[in-house]
Amino acid sequence: MTEFEPRIVGFVCNWCTYTGADLAGVSRFQYPPNFIPIRVMCSGAVDPMYVVKALIEGADGVLIGGCHPGDCHYQSGNYKARRRATVLKQLLKDIGLDERRVWVRWISASEGKKFADTVTEMTEELKRIGPSKLRDEWAL
């Protein structure tokens, strides 16, 4: 039996985490190819709908990546993301979903290593949790 490979959708901000992911590549830091990025302008622009949509569509995990607190290109977008994610995780829990599938991490443009480590760590965590059954359960 082949090992379960989780699929992670990442909403990464243009200024910090996306650039950090580029740096991870440039530095040849290796991380599992389970992570697929979607570039957004700011973590504060990540609609919880996107996260829910990704989970319903069958993603095993969602990573929201933004600038470090205080470093947001737009001053406060990452704080907005943080508040929203807190509520979203609570909601996910309340409706019986596993909130461990949603991660919010601050990764700056210079933290290629941190980006690679985060993806590695998240992949391992999701392997432990196992595949999301959401798509099958919610299939119409």
> Under the criterion CB under 8 A, does residue 80 sit at the interface with another protein?
yes
Question: DSSP string covering the chain, please?
Answer: -PPP---EEEEEETTTHHHHHHHHHHTT----TTEEEEEES-GGG--HHHHHHHHHTT-SEEEEEEPPTT--TTSSHHHHHHHHHHHHHHHHHHTT--GGGEEEEE--TT-HHHHHHHHHHHHHHHHHH----HHHHH--
Per CB under 8 A, does 45 bind another protein?
yes
Q: Which is nearer to another protein, 7 or 82 (CB)?
A: 7
Alpha-carbon distance of 133 to 77, in angstroms, equals: 32
Site string for another protein, 14-43 (x = CB under 8 A): x---xx-xx-xxx-xxxxxx--xxxxxxx-
Least distance to another protein, CB of residue 100, Å: 18
- Residue 106 makes contact with another protein by CB under 8 A: no
Per-residue interface string for the shown chain with another protein, residues 110-139, x marking contact by CB under 8 A: ------x------------------x----
Q: Is 3 in the site for another protein (CB under 8 A)?
A: no
Q: Which residue has the tokens 């490979």?
A: 5
Binding site for another protein (CB under 8 A): 7, 9, 14, 18-19, 21-22, 24-26, 28-33, 36-42, 44-47, 49-50, 53-54, 57-59, 73-77, 80, 116, 135
